[in-house]
Amino acid sequence: MKTWGGRFEGGPDPTAADFGRSIETDVELAFDDILGSMAHVRALGRAGVLTDAEVEALLAGLEAVRADIESGSLRWDPALEDVHMNVESALEARVGPAARKLHTGRSRNDQVSTDLRLWLRRTIDDLDGALVGLERALVDLARRNVDAVMPAHTHTQPAQPVLLAHHLLAHVEMLERDRSRLADARRRANVSPLGSGAVAGSGFPLDREAVAAELGFAGVTRNSIDASGDRDFVAEALAGFAIAMVHLSRLAEELVWWSHPRLGFVRLADAFSTGSSMLPNKRNPDPAELVRARAARVVGDLAGFLAVLKGLPLGYQRDLQEDKRPLFESARELRRSLEVLAGIIASLTVDEARLQAAAAEGHVTATAVAETLVELGVAFRSAHHVVGRLVRTAEVDGLSLEVLSDDAVTAALRESDDESVRALAGDPTTAARLRAAASIEGALARCNVIGGTAPSRVADELAAASRRLGLA
């Protein structure tokens, strides 16, 4: 092991060497490793460690290695342990002994932290585009079904009527927070650790700020021990990935149930459905189900990596090598899940009639009726009790609140122990007002606040989301 074997009499046990290698995983950092190495070469040149000719040769060699990687002609050697040593070996094959000067003033500890930050920065940018793609699909679906009404639920029971567009925009809000959360993680990761060395800092006069600027970092890390030995930026990104996947899993769960024939709210396109090897009748929402399962994997990646970090003293530990697999896997699954859900939503068919029928169940306009009583001078607690009696009557008679008779409404009012309620029993207009409030349209119109489901408010939010996403 020419990278560190001088103080050892023999080579490592083959089993131990195989156990410790990471090239199969960290090869994903190859381009980031070359980018960081080129900036380091220039820094060594400015510091007088390398001659101008050496800088020119090493930069040309690194460009050639990058071209080999892009063409697929570079063979990765597991015996060289990781991507860093593979790149350095390929560079030496190109430029000769000068390549052995590349690692001057740095350690694989600050090198890999730099690579990871570069990778994470561009990955989050890529994921942001995928998040926007799903948001656009949701907003477009809402605009195609702008008048569709559905029941909103609490405790998985019918609660109040809302516009389908309002429900879809709730998912958009969650995705916007995911974008913001990942942008925050990107900002904190966007500092350069190069020059921190193994743990104490570089022993050469490297201009760390110039290197950071060249690589597009916002600044440099301020403590070499922290920079080389911590991975909280990885944990933060994993947390953002996990939360986003939980949001996607909730959307997937709804798609699974909404597409059930018993509900029939939506129909997934053939391209996003599967059949059964045994049951000819089946039409399965498999992609949505897999999103739920992949969310569990990403949550597990976060929990597992936090468990790795929790017992580590300061300074680099080899345990940190295990940061890449969960990070790469989680980002990949988030991206794939965003793409498949965007495809499902973009091709989804909504059955507005089935949604409307569901919105008529469960007496979901009861709150609007109670609020109308409040407008007539009744305390809310008394109004709540009266409308509860009306709901019970409607259930017994198999009717909706909207069609209860004058006699039924008057009886409920007279049974109240609140004088202000009983006084309304003598007003011939009360029952008609309460029935009007019990309509779906009346209940929707009442929620006329910022963030509410009144059609005018939802139209405003749809327009705002369309403008923000470039759909206006």
d(CA 88, CA 98): 10
| pLDDT < 70 regions, the chain | 1-5
Q: Can you spell out the DSSP letters for 24-66?
A: HHHGGGHHHHHHHHHHHHHHHHHTTSS-HHHHHHHHHHHHHHH
Assess whether 258 and 337 both reside in one domain. Answer: yes
Between CA 236 and CA 240, with CA 238 as vertex, the angle to 5 degrees is 70
Q: How many domains does the chain have?
A: 3
HSE of 152, CA atoms in CB hemisphere, 13 A: 17
Give 274's DSSP letter: B
pTM (two decimals):
0.94
- Which residues does the annotation mark as catalytic? 155, 276
Assess whether 304 and 373 both reside in one domain. Answer: no
Residue 146: inside a domain = yes
pLDDT of amino acid 14: 82
Q: Left, alpha or beta for 435 (phi > 0: left; psi -120 to 50: alpha)? A: alpha
Residues 6+ apart with CB under 8 A from 459: 146
pLDDT of amino acid 7: 74
Assess whether 181 and 294 both reside in one domain. Answer: yes
Give 9's DSSP letter: S
Count Cβ atoms within 10 A of the Cβ of residue 365 and give its class: 0-12 exposed, 13-18 middle, 19 or more buried: buried
Assess whether 189 and 326 both reside in one domain. Answer: yes
3-state helix, strand, coil in the chain (%, to 5): 70, 5, 30
pLDDT of amino acid 2: 59
Assess whether 129 and 91 both reside in one domain. Answer: no
d(CA 384, CA 378): 10
Assess whether 340 and 373 both reside in one domain. Answer: no
d(CA 458, CA 447): 10
Q: How do residues 242-296 score in pLDDT, each as one tens digit? A: 999 999 999 999 999 999 999 999 999 999 999 999 999 999 999 999 999 999 9
Domain range spanning residue 371? Answer: 360-468
